[in-house]
A and B are shown apart, each in its own frame.
Chain A
Amino acid sequence: MATPVLEINDLHIAVEDKEILRGLSLTVKGGEVHAIMGPNGTGKTSLAQTLMGHPRYLVTGGSIRLDGQDVVAMRPDERARAGLFLAMQYPSEISGVTTANFLRAAINARREDGRQISLKEFRDQLDQVMNFLEMDPKFANRYLNEGFSGGEKKRNEILQMLMLKPRIAILDEIDSGLDIDAIKIVAKGVNSLKGPEFGALIITHYQRILDYVRPDFVHIMVDGLIVKSGGPELAEELDRKGYDWVRSELAEARRQA
């Protein structure tokens, strides 16, 4: 399959008439890891949810394209089948639905009727991935995220990502609330997919995870806009200087304008 390209161009979104993104542009290609950093309440999660098609967010301007196809017109399930994946900050707890049953249904949703995954093939893959992520195999038969700790939920998101093999993955604060060992495992999962057919957009508040998943590009987002982009060194600088540094730089730039 060709190298994926996700193009976000001059994106405006609103929630209940309140503008959240104000003309955001970003292109993520296969083989690239992008990180978006920014303070709380700046629209990072809104961007992630909008990319996946959450009905709460209304696209009021601009475009999102995956391999040239209009993503905005697609339902969330169509986006997923086209290769988008969102590891959510707060995954739902769904009672009565086991992780295994759900994942198998999700894999089969990507396949034609006659080519459904066999139970054995599925179980083998699942065992392998769970082993790789150092997960207790019992989790497969537990209800989706129900009673999971924060760390278990995040690991479960990565498990789903590895099973579904997306082309572009958006990871929304996948590192929040994780200790360093858990971050390493999550990073191992992301790194295992790296290649020309996989692109990642890591949304994070802290630089910590970027020590383990090396980004090619770092973007700083403030008030619904990307205000600064650079290489991995930008993350380190931000970590040292804090968000106030970005804010004062912005204020300085405005004064000069």
Chain B
Amino acid sequence: MAHTASVSSVDQLKEIIETRYDREPEWSLTRRIVAAENVFSLDWPHLERTPLKKRKLEDIPFWEANLDDAPPARLMVRDDDPNAVWLRFENNQLSHWEVGAALHQRGVIAAPLAESLTHPFVRAHLGELVVDTADKVSALTASLWRSGVFLYLPDNLDTPVMLTVEYHANAGVRALFIRNLICAGKGTQVTVSERLTTDEGLEKVLLSEETEIFVGDDAEVDYGAIQLCSLAVNSFIRRHGQIGTNGKLVWHIGEFGSNLAVSEQVSHLAQPGARTESVTVFFGAKQQHQDYTAKSLHHAPHTQSNMVARGVMKGKARSIFTGVTHIESGAKGSDGRQREQTLMLSDEARADAIPSLIIDERDVYAAHAASAGPVDKSWIFYLMSRGLSESEAVRLIVHGFLAPVIDSISRPLLRDAVWDAVERKIQE
């Protein structure tokens, strides 16, 4: 099943694409072929504080099919949980697909993106927010993506939708390319829970996820995601959302896994009254390197953004959190805030919090705060003087540091999953 020979030319990659995706509509196949050409001409993402050259990502055989031979899962329509959708992909292959009966009957599409290519929305909007040509990762993803979800809520659907989507990789997998496309029509509501996991004992893996979210007028999307991949993984995650009039996009992101974790989250506040809130919790240990960028882009008047990030670094971990709040000229009456804090548990850990506000309009409110510092030694002494061991003292302090942020996650399952991950990282 796998192409074992190395792929060193555009022609070889094209050939692989033509064989592997031959059942796709022509527009999609053509896009993959065009992207394949860019794979060899574009460079890896350029990140000021995360040089990628020495990581030798090009050694990863990203073209390998890494497909299960098992046939893809079939749709199951369920009556017992009528507003829920659950898709699971293992090793790039769809392994589970359930859609609640109520949604199925009312024109909601909740399907693997690869099986939704004939939908006009997909053709019109895929790649609109996350472009195919940004760098080598985006070109690779555009040419080789296989797993991912298409969720389409028709305007005025009055039932809130719960989408759970899981991606898992077993040993043997070398690359995962994921694309999600979500369209929440006017006045709709959706809660997404995404989970990225892998087995342990993998060889070096390249994981790329590109997610595009279109939030319609008066619609509300709550996007939660937790990343728990093994340290063999190099992950690149791009999630972009565009928010319509009085729409709202909420992000709840927990980043714990991967040896290299690069992520970019962008909220386009495109129409008046659009709002976004984002909460990111990250925890690095050992030699993990995490480079996160979050952007709130105020294109329209009376838009609001609030970005909060808290991270903990231990061992020799390194994090960079860049927050950008841009209020464009004309975005009158807008309100943009951000706050980043990182706690360092070891002298060898490093964290940079880089907030930036770009304000091109007078009549606005904008604020930022950022800090990165070690655990206060006097706190440790105080807690130890009451009988707690040093590790218990650190645990309490980490809990205390993260609690206000994690407990603000209104969804109990995700909140518990984040706490579990934190607990494991503390012990690690």
Contacts and interface: CB of A to CB of B under 8 A. Distances in A.
B396 A101 contact: yes
B384 interface: yes
A105 B397 contact: no
Contact of B386 (A95, A96, A101, A102): A102
Contacts of B416: none
Given A76-B381, A102-B383, A94 B388 contact: no
B392 interface: yes
A97 B383 CA distance: 11
B392 A95 contact: no
Contacts of B381: 52-55, 76, 92
A109 B385 contact: no
A46 interface: no
Interface string B371-405: 00000111101111111111011001101111110
Instruction: Specify the main secondary structure of chain B where it touches its partner.
Output: helix
Nearest to B378: A92
Interface in B277-321: none
A105 B385 contact: no
A81 B387 contact: yes
A162 interface: no
A168 to B, nearest CB: 13
A91 interface: yes
Contacts of B385: 52-53, 76-77, 79-80, 85-86, 88
Nearest to A160: B386
Interface string A4-32: 00000000000000000000000000000
Nearest to B376: A92
A106 B387 contact: yes
A39 to B, nearest CB: 25
B388 A109 contact: yes
Contacts of A160: 386
Interface string B30-42: 0000000000000
A102 B379 CA distance: 12
A58 interface: no
Contacts of B382: 88, 91-92, 94
Contacts of B400: 94-97, 143
Nearest to A98: B400
Nearest to A92: B382
B311 to A, nearest CB: 14
A97 B384 contact: no
B399 A94 contact: no
Contacts of A54: 381
B395 to A, nearest CB: 9
A166 to B, nearest CB: 10
Contacts of A164: 386-387
B44 to A, nearest CB: 38
Contacts of A53: 381, 384-385
Contacts of B399: 96-97
A80 B386 contact: yes
Contacts of B404: 96
A53 B386 CA distance: 12
Name the residue among B377, B378, B401 with the largest chain A CB count within 10 angstroms. B378
B284 to A, nearest CB: 19
Name the residue among A80, A91, A96, A103 with the largest chain B CB count within 10 angstroms. A96
Contact of A106 (B377, B378, B379, B386): B386
A110 interface: yes
A75 interface: yes
A97 B388 CA distance: 13
A80 B385 CA distance: 6
A138 B376 CA distance: 26
B418 to A, nearest CB: 15
Contacts of A81: 387
B379 A77 contact: no
Contact of A77 (B376, B390, B397, B403): B390
Interface of A: 52-55, 75-77, 79-81, 85-86, 88, 91-92, 94-97, 101-103, 105-106, 109-110, 143, 160, 164
27 contacts: A53-B384, A55-B381, A75-B390, A77-B388, A77-B389, A80-B387, A81-B387, A85-B385, A85-B386, A88-B382, A88-B385, A92-B378, A94-B382, A94-B400, A96-B399, A96-B402, A96-B403, A97-B396, A97-B397, A101-B396, A103-B386, A105-B388, A105-B392, A105-B396, A106-B383, A106-B387, A109-B386
Interface of B: 376-379, 381-390, 392-393, 396-397, 399-404
Given A53-B384, A95-B401, A97-B397, 6 more contacts: A53-B381, A80-B385, A88-B385, A96-B404, A97-B396, A160-B386
